[in-house]
Amino acid sequence: TLSEELVQLVLDVRDQLRRCAEVVWYHINEVLCIKISLSSVRRILKRHGRVDKPRRHRNRRYKGIPRPRVLAPGDLVEIDTIHLFNPITKQKRYIYTVIDLYTRMAYARVYKELRPIYSLNTILEAEQYFGFNFKMVQSDNGLEFARYFETRLENKGIKIRHTRLGRPNDNAHIERFNRTLQEECTGNYYLESEPLKKMDDKILSYIDFYNYHRVHLSISYRTPSQMLHRL
């Protein structure tokens, strides 16, 4: 049984921070140096009505556009984000990744936030880097691919297609590239000692290697650039 003082402390910290149970628990244990379990914090907040209801996003709906046949570069381009976690500071960095399904040409940039403008910038930079026009872009239902991202691309004549909810295989090519990028370049975590600019330069250097030197089994031991230039 927890004391009334400890229960009140949990409620006060929750009202002060206005954050989730995990953040409240971390603050009490690490900042205030008072030991309490996460399950106890969750139970206290739930009993006293301090649990936030999950927000519903009106724009996160599956767009039932048929998947096109991929017969040429730019017919279908997938975009996604990798979340890199810092185990010490608990902060995140986000790698925006792009891949063209026909050539397997890939592109990536890293930012500190999830924002539709960064998704848009990455797609437009990838289109310029690849050297061909994108006809359709496919993404999941993340907030970084929200209305602003969709509208700006549609204004440029690029169609938008979302994957089905709970069907990660719809984005199988970009998911495989994400894993390769983490295994061969960035790892699964990042350190604050590595500046954002340095990580971004390392990723861009790897992108050049991936596109022009790394052979792929799925395209008969060719590089993505060879798939592009054989046309």
Q: 125 and 211 in contact (C-beta within 8 Å)? A: no
Long-range interactions of 187-191: CB distance < 8 A, separation 24+: 187/84, 188/84, 188/85, 189/84, 189/85, 189/86, 189/87, 190/84, 190/85, 190/86, 190/93, 191/86, 191/88
Listed in sequence order, the DSSP H helices in 60-155 are 116-130, 147-155
Query: At CA 135, angle to CA 60 and CA 154, rounded to 5?
Result: 50
For 141-165, the pLDDT digits (tens) are: 888 998 899 999 999 999 999 987 7
- Model confidence pLDDT, tens digit, residues 76-134: 999 999 999 888 888 899 999 999 999 999 999 999 999 999 999 999 999 999 999 99
Query: What integer pLDDT is reported at residue 90 of this predicted model?
Result: 80
Pair type for strands 106-111 and 136-139: unpaired
User: Which tens digit of pLDDT belongs to each residue from 189-220?
Assistant: 888 788 999 999 999 999 999 999 998 888 88
Alpha helix (H) ranges present in the chain? 4-17, 21-26, 38-47, 116-130, 147-155, 172-181, 196-212, 224-229
